[in-house]
Every structure is written in C-alpha cells, then in structure tokens.
C-alpha cells in the first residue's frame, strides 16, 4: 500500500502519523502470518523455560562436543512434554551453541543467549576455554549457570576466587573433578607398575596447565614422586625437542600432560622419533587422552596410554533426567552414529541432569534468583554420580570423581580398534575395576 492511500483517521487518533499507521498495519500482518510473533511471543515466553547449552563441537576441542548432538536429542525427547515446577507446567527449549573452541566466541554466544534469547538457565561444559568465559558472562548478567568438565581449581581460582576470601560468585556453579581427585587417581594407578617415580610433566600455559602446575605437581611431590617440569609452553607449539631432551636426561619413567589434541600428537610423535617413548613405563595423558578419536589418530603410539575418566559407560548411575543407564546411552550413541562411545556422553547428560534438577527444586523456575538459590543447595544423583553443592570443597563447587583408565587393543571381533578399560577406582569404589594397568613400553 502506498503511503498516500492511507485514509484519514478519526479525530481522536490524528496524533498518529501515517508512517506510524503503516508500522501498525505491518505488525498486524505479522500477527496473521506468524502468531508466535509480537504479543504471542510474550505469552509464550511466560510458559517456556529456555536453557542455553554451550560446548565446543568444532575446532581443536571438538572431541569434547562430538556426542552432544545425540545427548541433546535424548534429552529433548524426554522434555518434549515439558516439566512441572511448583505446580506450574512449562514447555522447554534447549538452545545449544558451538564455541568452535574459541573462548571469545564462547563469551559472545553466552551474551547473545542472555540478552537476545532471554534464557532462564545456562549450561556449559568442557575445558576452561568454554566454561570460564560463559560463567563470567552469566555472573555479570545475573543469570544462573551450572557447568562441568574443568578441574574445579581452574574454574574457581582461574576466575579470581581466593583461598582466604568468601566466594565472589552468586550466579555460577560448577561440578567437576579437581586436584584432590587427580592425586588419588594417579597415586593409586601409578602404584600398579614399579617405576623410579620420576614424572616428566608437560603442562601448557593456559588455565588448565597453570592450575595443575600450581596444585597437582606439589601434591604428587608430597606423595613421593619427583616432578621434572619442562616449563609452560604455548598452545600450538610445534617443536618439543628441548622438553624431550630434559625428560630423557632425567630418565622420567612416568609422563603426565594436559594438552590439547594437536599439541600432544606433535609432542608424542617427536618423543617417539627421539627415543623417549622407549623409556616411559606409564604415559598418563589428560584432556587429549579422553576420546577414542584422539587416541586412534596416534596409531600404534596410542596403545596403552593411560587416562582417567570422569564418566564411563560402566558407571553404576542412571540419568536423573532421562532414566537411561550408561550402557544404554553408549549403545544408543554407537547405533545412531556408528562411532565408538566416549566419556563426554555421560558428562553432558549429567550437566542436563543437574540443571533440570535445579529448575525443579526452585520455588519459581522463571525467577533467576530462585534458580540460583536452588543450585546453591542442590544435591542430586546424576550420570557421573552425586553432585552436592552443600559439601564444597568451596562454595559454588562440587567435587566429583575421576577414575583411572587405559586404552588397550580391542578384543578380536570388536568393531572398534581400541577398548577403554577401568584400572582403578580410588575416588569412587562403586565403579567396577575391569583390568590391571599395563606398562606403556
């Protein structure tokens, strides 16, 4: 319609211009075309819980997000009928986002979910590069957030909290393993093979590496191990000759690292070329050693690498949200994708478990302060075990187990090349041990 064709309006509305009238007519047209727009949106928002879910599904950390599409599919099927909180029924919308392994993008995605999508709760998982910037955005905006799969020291102290001061966080909560769990796991696992107790450590100059260097290395030293630290290195380093030479000179029979996958692949291939792999009896790799895709890419050099799991399909716990067991989740993923199950499946499900248990425990799921309060006292059984924010070790933190594991050659007839076996359970005796740790070399 041309602006000149708009008819004269009654006297009582003559203060509305013809251009404003056009805008009103356009809005009315939108309502006819899309009833979820404008006024209907406001009505729908009151009855819908929006939950953000941020993880790295591409880029250097893509292994962590490999199973998230499947986990979210299982969760969405369960939530298709909505949930009831305090006698009120809500539809549920999970808005999942891929950080592309970029901390700056993680922060941007979080802010968009907060400011544009108006989420009621944020969920974030997998490495400080994802979780910390998302948590910071939520803390600044006053949006409840629960996260996992970052050593809790890297999350808590890495975001500015201090040992001797009250928690600076009101809106953000984190459940994950920490240095205490690593120490119990590693000392239990390493006791299975005689060594000279010299540990060559390669810790990066990032939130994970710096937290581990500050807290884990001294604790291992106190447990009778000699730590040979090659010094912090930058992500993306391509030449590790100096570090390898130091480990060889010190005859480090145990090797421990927390690298991103491309860095470990470069280091380990160089270590093989320069003869270090022949003297190592235990190779304990965190972060990169978690997923079959990362280990398979190493070929024969991946066999007998020790790791630690924050979830295994043989954990004895079911999902509070979906009711599925670990074996059911793993088998369903393999059937759906043709890929081998990985431990992040259970961890991501546990994040959904904890988040929705908090929403259900809140007095008002649409009130952010009420949800944050429910998080602060949450005690729930999730797929990784008990999450309990009443126990600490610090406010806003719940420490969860990490279990010793190893990548071994799969049994004949398996459709996959590797098997991931549990070798110790010091941090959770309920988890069944399946095998003894084998020497690497």
Residues 63 and 167 in one domain: yes
Q: What pLDDT score does 217 carry?
A: 93
Q: What pLDDT score does 137 carry?
A: 98
How far apart CA 369 and CA 82 sit, in angstroms, is 22
Decide: 233 and 266 in contact? Cβ < 8 Å.
no
Residues 305 and 409 in one domain: yes
Q: Is residue 126 part of a domain?
A: yes
Residues 218 and 98 in one domain: no
Q: What pLDDT score does 45 carry?
A: 67
Residue appearing with tokens 């005689």? 194
Buried b (16+ CB within 10 A) or exposed e, 316-326: ebbbbbbebbb
Count of domains in the chain? 3
What is the signed CA dihedral for 289, 290, 295, 297, rounded to 10 degrees? -110
Residues 195 and 234 in one domain: yes
Residues 318 and 247 in one domain: no
Q: How far is CA 36 from CA 30, 118, 151, in A?
A: 9, 16, 42
Q: Is residue 441 part of a domain?
A: no
Q: Is residue 433 part of a domain?
A: no
Residues 322 and 267 in one domain: no
Q: Is residue 434 part of a domain?
A: no
Residues 97 and 231 in one domain: no
Beta bridge partners of 403: 309
pLDDT bracket for residue 441 (50, 70, 90): confident
Decide: 144 and 121 in contact? Cβ < 8 Å.
yes
How far apart CA 146 and CA 152 sit, in angstroms, is 12
How far apart CA 155 and CA 148 sit, in angstroms, is 9
Q: Which domain range does residue 300 map to?
A: 180-309+403-422
pLDDT in tens, 31-79: 333 333 222 333 356 799 999 999 999 998 999 999 999 999 999 999 9
The pTM of this model reads: 0.85
CATH number for position 218: 3.40.50.2300
Beta bridge partners of 12: none
Q: Is residue 203 part of a domain?
A: yes
Q: Is residue 436 part of a domain?
A: no
Q: How many C-beta atoms lie closer than 10 Å to residue 131's C-beta? A: 31
pLDDT bracket for residue 1 (50, 70, 90): very low
Residues 288 and 201 in one domain: yes
Residues 303 and 211 in one domain: yes
Residues 80 and 19 in one domain: no
Q: What pLDDT score does 372 carry?
A: 98
Q: Is residue 408 part of a domain?
A: yes
> What does the pLDDT average to over 212-220?
92
Phi, psi of 120 (to 5 degrees): -95, -25
Evaluate if residue 91 carries a pLDDT over 60. yes
Q: Is residue 428 part of a domain?
A: no
pLDDT in tens, 263-307: 999 999 999 999 999 999 999 999 888 999 889 999 999 999 999
How far apart CA 74 and CA 321 sit, in angstroms, is 10
Q: What pLDDT score does 178 carry?
A: 93
pLDDT bracket for residue 261 (50, 70, 90): confident
Residues 289 and 162 in one domain: no
Q: What pLDDT score does 44 carry?
A: 55
Neighbour order of strands in the sheet with 88-98? 83-85, 88-98, 48-55, 121-125, 145-148, 172-176, 397-399
The H or E element spanning position 350 is: helix 344-361
Residues 93 and 208 in one domain: no
Q: What pLDDT score does 403 carry?
A: 98
The per-residue DSSP string of 213-272 comes to HHHHHHHHHHTTPEEEE---B-TT----HHHHHHHHHTT-SEEEE---HHHHHHHHHHHH
How far apart CA 332 and CA 17 sit, in angstroms, is 60
């Amino acid at each position: 319609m041309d602006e000149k064709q708009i008819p004269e309006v009654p006297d009582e509305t003559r203060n509305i211009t013809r251009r404003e009238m056009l805008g009103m007519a356009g809005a009315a047209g939108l309502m006819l075309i899309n009833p979820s727009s404008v006024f209907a949106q406001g009505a729908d928002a009151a009855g819908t819980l929006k939950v953000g879910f941020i993880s790295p599904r591409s880029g250097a950390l893509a292994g962590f997000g490999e199973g998230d599409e499947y986990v979210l599919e299982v969760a969405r099927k369960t939530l298709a009928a909505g949930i009831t909180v305090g006698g009120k029924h809500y539809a549920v919308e999970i808005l999942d986002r891929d950080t592309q392994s970029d901390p700056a993008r993680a922060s941007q995605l979080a802010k968009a979910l907060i400011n544009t999508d108006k989420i009621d709760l944020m969920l974030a998982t997998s490495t400080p590069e994802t979780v910390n910037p998302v948590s910071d955005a939520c803390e600044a905006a006053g949006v409840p957030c629960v996260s996992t799969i970052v050593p809790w020291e890297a999350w808590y102290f890495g975001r500015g909290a201090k040992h001797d001061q009250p928690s600076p966080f009101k809106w953000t909560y984190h459940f994950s393993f920490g240095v205490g769990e690593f120490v119990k796991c590693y000392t239990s696992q390493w006791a299975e093979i005689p060594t000279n107790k010299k540990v060559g450590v390669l810790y990066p100059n990032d939130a994970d590496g710096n937290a581990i260097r500050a807290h884990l290395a001294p604790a291992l030293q106190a447990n009778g191990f000699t730590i040979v630290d090659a010094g912090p290195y930058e992500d993306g380093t391509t030449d590790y000759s100096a570090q390898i030479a130091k480990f060889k000179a010190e005859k480090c029979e145990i090797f421990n690292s927390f690298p991103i996958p491309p860095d470990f692949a470069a280091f380990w291939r160089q270590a093989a070329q320069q003869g270090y792999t022949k003297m190592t009896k235990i190779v304990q790799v965190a972060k990169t050693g978690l997923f079959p895709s990362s280990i398979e890419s190493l070929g024969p050099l991946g066999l007998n690498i020790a790791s630690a799991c924050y979830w295994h399909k043989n954990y004895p716990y079911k999902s509070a949200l979906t009711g599925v067991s670990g074996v059911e989740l793993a088998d369903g993923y393999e059937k759906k994708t043709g890929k081998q199950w990985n431990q992040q499946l259970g961890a991501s499900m546990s994040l959904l478990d904890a988040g929705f248990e908090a929403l259900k425990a809140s007095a008002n799921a649409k009130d952010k302060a009420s949800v944050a309060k429910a998080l602060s006292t949450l005690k729930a059984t999730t797929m990784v075990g008990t999450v309990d924010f009443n126990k600490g070790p610090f406010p806003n933190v719940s420490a969860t187990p990490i279990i010793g594991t190893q990548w071994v050659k799969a049994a004949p007839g398996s459709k996959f090349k590797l098997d991931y076996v549990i070798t110790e359970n010091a941090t959770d005796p309920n988890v069944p041990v399946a095998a003894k740790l084998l020497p690497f070399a």
